[in-house]
A and B are shown apart, each in its own frame.
Chain A
Amino acid sequence: MTVKTEISLDSFFIFNPNLGLKEGEEEKKILYYYPKSTDLKTKVRNIGLSEAIFNFTRTFNPDQPCEVLNTLKIRQIYYNPEPNIYLVLVLKVPFCRTVDGDVEYQSDHIQTEIYLSVLKQMYRECILFTSPFSCLSHNQLVMQLDTFYEKYLPTLRIQNCDIMDLFQGIHFLPLDKSTFLHIHSCINLMQAVFPFIKYSMFLCHEQLVWSGLDMEDTQLVFRYLVANILYPLLDSETIQSKEGSALPRISSSTNNYGRFLTGATNLDSNLELETPPIVHLHHHTGLDEKYYFVIYNALSITVCLFIPVETTILSLDTYKRLDVFLSPKLTSLASEVSSYTSNSNISSLDNSSNGPKFIYFNQLNLAMKSSIHNNYRKSNNNISIDPNVMRILMDIKSANKYEEFYIVIQHKNANLIEINGKSITEVIGKYSNSREFYIVIQHKNANLIEINDEVKKICDSQLENIFFCQ
């Protein structure tokens, strides 16, 4: 019996090499360490190792710090976003134990670029809530990192990271003009009625429809919101409904479907108001502005409100007025959206398992689309193709960064061959005008001409409205 393991998180730590310089005070360097249960000695040793590697490699190339360390059993990913701040992600290399007891480490299963991107995102999402690390005092920083990553790490799902995590893109909900305009009009009206709302964001079915923020902040907020708030919420609701004890989403007193996910989560209670989380926007432009991050959810719709901390005091009454305003409007918009999506789904989506699959990513607006993933939640069995093929896709991506390319890779899928002997998976990557498009075709009796036709068909249907050199 062969035993296989998955990629998993060994540890994750953040340290400042300039602290605890005295012998015996090395633990002061530690700003955050996961898992917490690790004994101090190991912590100090690991940090020491990373620091040593940094210092050593700097000799060869002072401009570009070391990014990754490969060993047989682990892989360390480094990120140095601010002076003297180092983030280290340590992954366990998956292995395969054969019947004879031989252990084979599959180091090619960890695609470094993906985890580099994941690590960067971990940092960026963190400073969305804390402001840059160097701006905080040591104690504050340690505390804030602890609160943030405590919640964050369980949602990370290292073993399910793939090319989508490399892109860290945004899923836009496809909508027709008029539905989009109705949503937009509702947001404008809301911001006119409640002028203290500086920015807002509108999501439906965990996909973005509208964002008043700029692209960088939108990406951060979107990624964080979906992975750390909305999906866990959905999961908890499915569990509850399976257990038959689902909490009614309709609050008894107002008979509406809306509720606040942050801030006044219970409008009926007289308890002290929760302060909504505070986000720091506009880092990339050098500003640091604090906003309350209020999230309101009604049926499939989620609206985020960004309210300047300095100028606004949120009272229960404000929340109630917002609720009265939003609830009926969002309820009707939700039904409008669902009637559109159900109409268009019937005609366009062919969800047969054998058809060609694609992944689309546009660097310039970070739009991302995939028919390989059953949904955008990270979970096992979420991708409809072989993980090996998924890795090939990633290889194509990392090999071609700068110019258009056109590559067909034939991948003889071991599992499929066993079943019908002739099946072949084709992976095609296309890159044009800052857009990337990957196609995976699984074909019996693969014939190049047929595959070519297939590719042409999917390109025509998916890319007809954009300028994309085929």
Chain B
Amino acid sequence: MSTTQNAELCYLKLCDNPRTFKPTAPTTNVFFDNTNGQIFSVELGDETKISVKGKTDEDSFEFKIKDKGIVKSIKFSPNNHVLALQRSRNSIEFITMINQMPNSVEIVQHSKGKNNKIYGFEWVNNKEIVFITEQSVEIYDIDVKNMYVKLIKSLSINSHWFVYDYKTKLLLLSTGGNYNNILQPLQLQNCGEINKLSRFEIELFTASSPMSIVATSPVVSPTKLLVLEEDVVLTYVYHLPRILIIRHQQRGSSSTQVIVYTVYKYKTVKRTHTLELADKIDGKFALNIVDNLILVHHKTSKTTMIFDINLSNDSSNGIISYKLPLMEPKPIRPIEGYETYSSNWVMFEPDIIIDVNKGLLFTIELDISIIMQQFRNNRILFEFLILRNIEREHVLSLLRRVFIEEANEYVEMIQLIETINFYYEQYLNYQVQINTGKSVKLISLSEYNTVQDSNELSFVKYNYTQRIIVDQTTLYNTVFIQLNEQKDKHTLLVCLLMEYVKSLLDHNISEIEYFIYELLIKTLIFQKQYYQLHQILQYYIVHDSKQIACLLLPLEKLYPPAYQLALDMLNRLRASDEINHILLYKPNNVITTLRTNTKSDSAVRSLSRKLLQLASHTSDSTSSIEPRQRIDSAASSIADSRNRNMDTGKNRTIDIPRNRSDVLLSERDRVVFYSVFMFYSQYCKQYNFNLMRDQKCLKYIELFENLFQPK
């Protein structure tokens, strides 16, 4: 296999422009301070020459200090004003800096017990520094102006080693226990306050996971440390501080694991995940975090495994979820003439790899397009992508791939829709909570499945904007519209739209956009599936709106019931103006219109105006007669027919007028009659004229009531 072929499958690569620094040499030591991102190359000689390489070239400078022996550790305060360095086993020196040059004044601070071995020190902030000694944790306050160092807090605690993370300000101490397996996390706060988190024990045996069978109990030597400093990483993964511990293969246990402990509310630490490295491998491991993915480098085989603790694959026992590598382990993409995974590599959190021998600082990057080729399950790939800090286009291309380009199984598509909406719901809930100022509960699908006590996660609050949201508009534009353009995919489109609506409702998203419904209706119409459309509307799947009603109305020509559906919808929306308009547009509908409008005065008034307008436009051959006269004749004819009915009604139980034409007026008569009456009664009201005094009018009222308000 040639290297180029290999390279195509490598989903990890080193950054193109590594930072360079003076590499190690017999007289030069290199230090990296992760807090400030500075690399120190310390060259011993007559004087100690220190080159500092910051994040950019402008941040880089050099200076010299007096030689006082080998430098064990060196770190600037965050504002670069004070340089702290350790050259003896029990004291730290401070040098103030002016314009990136050391001041002549130096102070030496011994540990509290004078003789206590100092393991190391960390800057908490510009004024405070913590010493970690074999017997205590000490916090000192540094007054730069007066060059004065004062102990402000001291906590007696025996430890073997420590790990510190500047972002969380968590300090993890190995404090012993029977098998040296107890760890004590501390959180350093400002002004020397120390928050003591509950300590925890690392299980002696790697607990049986569903994927590995534990045989006999291993023999643990009480003198040997169960976990070494180099096997522990303290960092944020998915917005929570996590403690990652590499558990090497032991006698009896099947393979190496990485155990993930999660720090909740800076109070408790719980074992939450176990990363199962490939079977039966051991050797040197190192960890990096890239975009919330945990990378486990296996130096022996020169490959790297990727884990995502938030993906909902793999198994879980309810408390701990067991994770397998996302993809087959692959090496980092090789670079011509450069040895990857060399013994000179040192990894720092989150994503830094330093080659001390070549003087190079790399960050490690993901190649998303290659990862997209490697996943077999598109649903998990979607979840993976949506959790990454990547271009939106990658997700969109996945959607196009699944729904449009490839002939995927329908089952796979609906699973993907389900996953899309799971995250969409999470996002919307987050938005609501942001807006109402409530505490935010955001979890991933896997956490949702594993953590029963969701209160534990309720405090999590983080910036959601980096995540990619696949909302209704996105899916509409990338998938549905595209499918709509391919005529052979219309059946699929209807199924997907229905499935999408179903899934949205299942996720309590009831505000479904108009355009989704519109496309659903239009596609059904195009397919001539009118009865299916009718059924869907009948079960109120489509949310009522005037737009939808307007979409249905013209359909009447092709499918007559559409008219009824549209009117029903408008009725539910209480859109009486629109209903009147639609009704009057059709011939012989005045009575219906009148009967629907008897509820309120204002409706009657607006209708009477409309009717008058209509009357003046209606052409009728008999219209030459003066209105009043026509009304009179109409009125008398109505009265006659009604009287006739009443007489016969006495004799027969059932009386139904079989021929209606002699009972009711012509359409135009009704229009004229009604409008004039409405106008007249309004006129009377306006001028306080007593309507009842006019005998003729009284007759009209009677008639009117008989005709139009039979109740």
Contact = CB atoms under 8 A, between A and B. Distances in A.
Interface of A: 172, 175, 177-178, 180-182, 184-185, 188-189, 191-193, 210-215, 218, 362, 364-365, 367, 392, 395-396, 399-400, 403-407, 409-411, 432-435, 452, 465-467, 469-470
24 contacts: A177-B505, A177-B540, A177-B541, A180-B539, A181-B498, A181-B541, A184-B502, A185-B414, A185-B498, A189-B410, A192-B411, A211-B535, A215-B531, A365-B531, A365-B561, A392-B653, A395-B654, A400-B656, A404-B591, A405-B656, A434-B561, A469-B592, A469-B596, A470-B595
B410 A213 contact: no
Nearest to B658: A399
A399 B658 CA distance: 7
Contacts of B540: 177, 465
Given A180-B539, A180-B541, A433 B564 contact: yes
A228 to B, nearest CB: 22
A210 B8 CA distance: 50
B654 A185 contact: no
Interface residues on B, range: 35 or more
Given A181-B541, A434-B564, A469-B595, A212 B498 contact: no
B570 A410 contact: no
Contact of B568 (A184, A395, A466, A470): A466
Given A181-B501, A181-B505, A188-B410, 12 more contacts: A177-B539, A181-B498, A185-B414, A218-B531, A364-B561, A365-B538, A392-B653, A409-B653, A432-B592, A452-B711, A467-B571, A467-B596
A410 B498 contact: no
A80 to B, nearest CB: 26
Nearest to A449: B711
B531 A364 contact: no
Nearest to B544: A465
Contact of A392 (B505, B531, B568, B654): B654
B502 A181 contact: yes
B710 interface: yes
Contact of A467 (B495, B505, B568): B568
B138 to A, nearest CB: 62
Query: Dominant SS at the A interface?
Result: mixed
A362 to B, nearest CB: 8
A466 B537 CA distance: 12
Contacts of B660: 403
Given A211-B531, A365-B561, A399-B656, A466 B502 contact: no
Nearest to A465: B572
Contacts of B560: 364
Interface in B557-574: 560-561, 564, 567-568, 570-572
A189 B411 CA distance: 7
Nearest to A217: B531
Nearest to A172: B538
A364 B563 CA distance: 10
Interface in B501-532: 501-502, 505-506, 530-532
A463 B658 CA distance: 27
Contacts of A364: 560-561, 564
Contacts of A211: 531-532, 535
Given A193-B410, A213-B531, A409 B505 contact: no
B634 to A, nearest CB: 18
B564 A410 contact: no
A43 B505 CA distance: 62
Interface of B: 409-411, 414, 495, 498-499, 501-502, 505-506, 530-532, 534-535, 538-541, 560-561, 564, 567-568, 570-572, 579, 591-592, 595-596, 653-654, 656, 658, 660, 710-711
Contact of B502 (A178, A193, A409, A452): A178
Contacts of A395: 654, 656
A403 B595 CA distance: 13
Chain B: interface secondary structure? helix
A466 B571 contact: yes
A191 B653 CA distance: 55
A185 B570 contact: no
Contact of B530 (A172, A214, A406): A214
Contact of A188 (B495, B535, B539): B495
A364 B591 CA distance: 21
A413 to B, nearest CB: 11
Contacts of A215: 531, 534
Contacts of A218: 531
A212 B494 CA distance: 12
Given A185-B502, A467-B579, A192 B570 contact: no
Contacts of A367: 538
B182 to A, nearest CB: 49
A184 B498 contact: yes
Contacts of B571: 465-467
Given A185-B498, A395-B654, A409-B653, A404 B564 contact: no
A407 B499 CA distance: 46
A402 to B, nearest CB: 8
Nearest to B592: A469
Nearest to B566: A467
A210 B535 CA distance: 7
A467 B553 CA distance: 14
Contact of B534 (A181, A365, A435): A365
Given A185-B414, A213-B531, A465-B572, A192 B564 contact: no
A364 B660 CA distance: 24
A212 B534 CA distance: 11
Contacts of A362: 564
Nearest to A365: B534
B535 A404 contact: no
Contacts of A435: 564
B159 to A, nearest CB: 56
4 closest residue pairs by CB, A with B: A192-B410, A364-B561, A181-B502, A399-B656
Given A395-B654, A396-B656, A411-B653, A178 B505 contact: yes
A399 B660 CA distance: 11
B631 to A, nearest CB: 22
Contacts of B711: 452
Contacts of A180: 539, 541
Contacts of A400: 656
A128 to B, nearest CB: 17
B564 A467 contact: yes
A179 B563 CA distance: 27
Contacts of A433: 564, 567, 592
A22 B711 CA distance: 65
A433 to B, nearest CB: 6
Contacts of B535: 210-211, 365
B575 to A, nearest CB: 10
B654 A409 contact: yes
Contacts of A188: 410, 495, 498-499
B502 A182 contact: yes
Nearest to B539: A180
B591 to A, nearest CB: 7
A467 B565 CA distance: 9
B505 to A, nearest CB: 5
A214 B561 contact: no
A212 B568 CA distance: 23
B568 A465 contact: yes
A393 B560 CA distance: 27
Contacts of B530: 214
Nearest to B710: A406
A424 to B, nearest CB: 12
A400 B539 CA distance: 29
A403 B661 CA distance: 12
B224 to A, nearest CB: 54
A435 B592 CA distance: 13
A278 to B, nearest CB: 22
A407 to B, nearest CB: 6
B304 to A, nearest CB: 39
A469 to B, nearest CB: 5
A467 B541 contact: no
